[in-house]
Structure 1
Amino acid sequence: MEATPLQNITAETVAKSFYDHWVTRFGVPTNLVTDQGRQFESQLFKNLSELCGVKLKRTTPYHLQSNGKVEHLHRTIKTAIKAHNSIKWTDTLPTVLLGLRASFREDSNSSVAQMVYGTHIRLPGEFFDNPRSHTEQETFVSKLQQHMQQLRPVEVKHKTSRTVFVHKDLSKCTHVFLRIDRVKKPLQPPYEDPFLEDDRLFSKSTTSLAGTTFNYVNSIIGSGVIGIPLALYSAGFGLGLALLIFMAVVTDYSLILMIRGAHLSGQFNYQGLMRAAFGRPGFIVLSTLQFIYPFIAMISYNIVVGDTITKVLIRMTRVQPTSLLASREFVIGLATIFITAPLCLFRDIANLAKISFLSLVFIAFVLISILIRMIFPFTYVPLTEDAWQLFSWDVIPAIGIMAFAFMCHHNTFLLYESMEIADQHTWNNVTHVSLFSSWIIAAMFGVMGYATFTGHTQGDLLENYCPGDDLMNISRVLFSITVLLTYPIECFVTRDVLESLLLQVCGITHTTAHHVIITLTLVTITCILSMVTSCLGPVLELNGILAAVPLAYVLPAVCYIKLEEGSVFSGKKIPALLLALFGLFVAFCGSVLLAIDFGRGDSCIHKDMPYWRLDKYLKITENFWDIVSLKDTTTGEDFFKVIEEAIDAWSKECHIQRLKPMGAVRRERDHDDTIVLSIC
């Protein structure tokens, strides 16, 4: 029984290996049975056989039984290699062959070595007993000693019953192995490394397809979706809608492409996929981008919470804007301590399935509120001069915002492994449903938000609504909760990247202490950074251009092109090639525009919208002849002067011509001490 690793399978290499490892040890065989491989059919191998006096025989095509002993030996060797937790199978092979040669065979009542040599072969003593001596240096002998300590003979039992065996000590054991049920490499071990009892939370529980879809949509619908109205305004309403459809289709294809690449490489994580395609440089590039995107997304989520909840607290408590409750830093800190930090300490994304469903319910309420305010506005919002234009030149920033809104590629493998039925076909269906649902939500946000505010649209859609609008204040609270429930999904990814780097670079395994330290560090840093910035629009654009576009469109495409067999210009690879070129073009143009904006010193400052100005005193409608009411908060002519100044400022900022002089303004007091103005 011989098995030899080969660097290649050329005819010369195979012939030399046959001579060196068989003929020189056991002599020349009389007959040699081979399959119809090109190496054995070559003239070189035939000449060697004639020289040695060997009679060659070939197996029948598509009839493996004719060489069944060798095929069975291949299966046995592969199974034995998988049982060893070793990255280099070539180091494991000699020990596997030693065990197979020394193992007792029931059919012949002897071992292979006994049949060849006429006697048993001696095995290393430490294969059975604990080591009696220890070597200090890291030499071949010490490595062999450690390897032998991991091996113990196991009694073979043949069972006819198919009842699942559960060991009686499973509930109190100190270590557990985790079986890998996904598609594996040919020689990949079927079980993951033993984990301590404290690390059992690392086990991957699964969720139903509906739960996976909820997690899928929830990972997409984050802070980016409220920037869609701004994207429609930047690209023009007509072109913006076309781009939104295009980005959804492209994102759907890229997500499917990622799992295809995973099946080709046998690596079901983004880092492993890049390493299989481009080696260590690809792993470093991917790890950097995969950390940047969710990290900035976590910052944007905190910004949304700080900006929206403060307005609600001011409205509810009637506190001054300078008080502690009106401080966005205070709100972000409370949300971090009591909501996001505890949720981020979970280790399994499947535990968030019910929470994800709850967040989708909140999103539905927010959409209904936006629809109500589009039909029944709280205050009159004048159209801007560039409202409803079909095309605009700010296409690249719009693509960046949309890419950020649809981005969930960093969560792809977490979602895939959480599925009960994890295969390509099921993943395709779940992806189609999730992306279609997300596109509907994003399109509704975009169309209704743009229709309400047109050119007044801000990066955060909810910032456009008046602080006194209680319906939208409820929506602000619910959307903030949704964002806070999406925050842990992004934290899972950043933590996974750091843990992978610690394992790959430093050799540090996952423990509960490391899990807690890394999680709390990430949450704390993002909390501090979100406190020092309140500019959501540029954050969305920056993350979309620099991280989302490469992660979503460039890297999945180039990985698939690298791993799939055939020419780059083959029918299978052309769509992936176009996807990669599209992503590179957007990333380059977006980076140039960001650099130009940074050079100009562009910044965003939160300010009251012009149509809020009059809302502090009265509720005004589109018809300037309507009669409006307001509470008398001042007295006499001072009150009338305040109203007139507010109307003048509002008319100027909204670009509405107002006749001068104002004309007669009839002031009366009704029964509840409300002043009624008839504005002409």
Structure 2
Amino acid sequence: MSPAAGINVPLLPDGKPAVKPGSVLGAVFNVTTTIIGAGIMSIPMTLKVLGIIPAIALILIIGFLAELSVDFLMRFTHSGETTTYAGVMREAFGPVGSLAAQVCVMITNLGALVMYLIIIGDVFSGNQPEGEVHLGILQQWFGFQWWTSREFSLLITLVFVMLPLVLYRRVESLKFSSAISTLLAVVFVSICSVLAVSALLQGKTKTPRLFPQLDRQTSFFDLFTAVPVIVTAFTFHFNVHPIGFELTKPSDMTTAVRIALILCAAIYSAMGLFGYLLFGDSIQSDILVNFDQGSGSAIGSLLNDVVRLSYTFHIMLVFPLLNFSLRANIDEFLFPKKPLLATDNRRFLCLTIVLLFFSYLVAIAVPNIWYFFQFLGSTTAVCLAFIFPGAIALRDSQGVSTTRDKITAAIMIILAVITSAIAISTNIYNFLSSRS
């Protein structure tokens, strides 16, 4: 068994008592937490770009396709002899397939971890998108001090919050933190909805667009740049195997994924709508930045702070889930002949600390999460979520694909490739145009 299997149930050496299987409820929390992550932060921005109706329709379509792609992954995994994403790609396409999966998981997860730290830095220590000054909570409460700086607040968060959580060696061990994380996301959306409804009753809401507005600043092709953001928001496939193989039977994972996707689609749609109602076209790529705006009452200011803090603590609890699969894939990539990662304390600790430190450095250097969403959603995330699962079904190395499966897989790949190609080319064109 490959070292990546160290993220599955049989972590302990022979002679230890069997580990209790994971629960469906725990899997639902872990999948939901993995999906929501930082994706919800930029969902309102997609409504600004696409308009309400196309954006919500796209959320539902991508959520549905994500469920189909997970079904492909798990069916072929259980038909073969592997327990990892890289393993099922190896069975279908050989060592090249395995390498492609590992590289995509590493890039996607590392990018997501950096996005989480950027958001945490935005909340605690503020940001200055496009010249606008947005204060962080620490700066609003205590002013500009050396210990309210982005660098120091992120360092303290990593050492005292992230590090203890990433030292767990089983996904199931994170089910309670994932449950709290999901609850915090619901609190976040609930407060946003209350603020939006209150603003609506007072006539203070912005007028949202139902459909995109094409003008000199926004072309038809610019609309495709919002697609990768939603794709990234639904990319959780790197954790399907570690979560699924801790359950008693395959159908448990199917149930957990279905429930989690329905819950996440509802949360994304609600957050996008209420966030857009609150801030309209002034929405930022990280909506938490918008909540630094002053309020006319002490209660309003308190709610603004609660919104930001609730979601900040949410992504702190999401962080270890993505770090889990990232660490396992890097270990499998660098040390394919070594014993299970969870049984090697030195290797486990070294990988964990190096990943935290590297994520910290990149988060300090890059201030905007929209760039990460567009890049990941157009490249590695779309490969993990749709292109690789579709290719596995078309390859059909286990002989389990039906004609309908192959047609679905082909459509999934074609749509993913076309939208990603347009998004990438549009982003490159816009970048070059802004430089000229």
TM-score, normalising length: structure 2: 0.86
- Counterpart Cα distance in 1 of 2:238 and 2:249: 17
- In structure 1, stretches of 5+ residues that fail to align are 1-84, 88-177, 183-191, 603-680
**Displacement of 1:431:** 1.5
**Displacement of 1:326:** 3.1
* Partners of 2:199 and 2:205 within 8 A in 1: no
- Counterpart Cα distance in 1 of 2:394 and 2:101: 16
- Counterpart Cα distance in 2 of 1:525 and 1:576: 36
Query: Structure 1, residues 251-281: CA drift from partner, whole Å, max 9, x if none?
Result: 1111111101112222220010110000011
Of the three residues 301, 307, 311, the one matched with 1:479 is: 311
1:368 aligns with 2:190: yes
Alignment partner, residue 327 of structure 2: 495
- Counterpart Cα distance in 2 of 1:412 and 1:555: 14
Distance 1:595 1:438, change over 3 A: same
* 1:587-606 pair list within 5 angstroms: 587-601=420-434
1:465 aligns with 2:291: yes
* Partners of 1:305 and 1:480 within 8 A in 2: yes
* 1:192-271 pair list within 5 angstroms: 195=13, 205-271=20-86
- Counterpart Cα distance in 2 of 1:223 and 1:351: 22
**Displacement of 1:508:** 6.2
* 1:611-626 pair list within 5 angstroms: none
**Displacement of 1:600:** 3.7
- Counterpart Cα distance in 2 of 1:569 and 1:256: 13
1:303 aligns with 2:118: yes
Secondary structure of 1:347 counterpart: coil
Distance 1:521 1:193, change over 3 A: closer
Q: Which has the larger radius of gyration?
A: 1
**Displacement of 1:467:** 4.0
- Counterpart Cα distance in 1 of 2:349 and 2:54: 46
* 1:425-574 pair list within 5 angstroms: 425-468=251-294, 469-504=301-336, 507=338, 510=341, 511-563=344-396, 570-574=403-407
Distance 1:470 1:268, change over 3 A: same
Range that drifts further, 334-343 or 289-298: 334-343
Secondary structure of 1:257 counterpart: helix
- Counterpart Cα distance in 2 of 1:211 and 1:571: 32
* Partners of 1:362 and 1:479 within 8 A in 2: yes
**Displacement of 1:363:** 1.3
- Counterpart Cα distance in 1 of 2:182 and 2:385: 23
- Counterpart Cα distance in 2 of 1:525 and 1:543: 18
1:407 aligns with 2:243: no
Which structure shows the higher strand fraction? 1
- Counterpart Cα distance in 1 of 2:41 and 2:400: 42
Query: Structure 1, residues 131-169: CA drift from partner, whole Å, max 9, x if none?
Result: xxxxxxxxxxxxxxxxxxxxxxxxxxxxxxxxxxxxxxx
**Displacement of 1:565:** 6.3
Secondary structure of 1:325 counterpart: helix
1:292 aligns with 2:117: no
**Displacement of 1:390:** 1.0
Query: Structure 1, residues 485-515: CA drift from partner, whole Å, max 9, x if none?
Result: 10111111111011112332x5566311000
* Partners of 1:238 and 1:391 within 8 A in 2: no
Q: Which amino acid aligns with 2:229?
A: I
Query: Structure 1, residues 371-405: CA drift from partner, whole Å, max 9, x if none?
Result: 12112249986747xx4141353332211111111
Distance 1:287 1:543, change over 3 A: same
* Partners of 1:264 and 1:563 within 8 A in 2: no
**Pairwise CA RMSD:** 2.9
* Partners of 1:314 and 1:325 within 8 A in 2: no
Alignment partner, residue 349 of structure 1: 171
**Displacement of 1:569:** 8.8
Alignment partner, residue 397 of structure 1: 225
* Partners of 2:80 and 2:398 within 8 A in 1: no
Secondary structure of 2:278 counterpart: helix
- In structure 2, stretches of 5+ residues that fail to align are 126-135, 214-219, 295-300
Query: Structure 1, residues 442-487: CA drift from partner, whole Å, max 9, x if none?
Result: 1111111111112111111121123442211112111111101101
Distance 1:376 1:562, change over 3 A: same
**Displacement of 1:595:** 2.1
Q: Which amino acid aligns with 1:274?
A: M
Query: Structure 1, residues 7-37: CA drift from partner, whole Å, max 9, x if none?
Result: xxxxxxxxxxxxxxxxxxxxxxxxxxxxxxx
1:278 aligns with 2:93: yes
- Counterpart Cα distance in 2 of 1:582 and 1:448: 29
Alignment partner, residue 216 of structure 2: none
Of the three residues 113, 126, 138, the one matched with 1:313 is: 138
- Counterpart Cα distance in 2 of 1:558 and 1:355: 34
**Displacement of 1:538:** 1.4
Q: Which amino acid aligns with 2:149?
A: S
Range that drifts further, 451-460 or 348-357: 451-460
Distance 1:193 1:519, change over 3 A: closer
Secondary structure of 1:391 counterpart: coil
- Counterpart Cα distance in 1 of 2:397 and 2:407: 12
* Partners of 2:76 and 2:398 within 8 A in 1: no
**Displacement of 1:406:** 1.1
Distance 1:281 1:325, change over 3 A: same
* Partners of 1:549 and 1:586 within 8 A in 2: no
Secondary structure of 1:571 counterpart: helix
- Counterpart Cα distance in 2 of 1:601 and 1:287: 34
Alignment partner, residue 131 of structure 2: none
Query: Structure 1, residues 315-367: CA drift from partner, whole Å, max 9, x if none?
Result: 222x13xx223311111111111111121111111111011111111112111
- Counterpart Cα distance in 2 of 1:286 and 1:553: 12
Which structure shows the higher helix fraction? 2
Residues matched between the structures, number: 407
Q: Which amino acid aligns with 1:366?
A: F
* Partners of 1:467 and 1:473 within 8 A in 2: no
Higher relative CO (Cα under 8 Å, sequence separation at least 6) belongs to: 2
* Partners of 1:256 and 1:431 within 8 A in 2: no
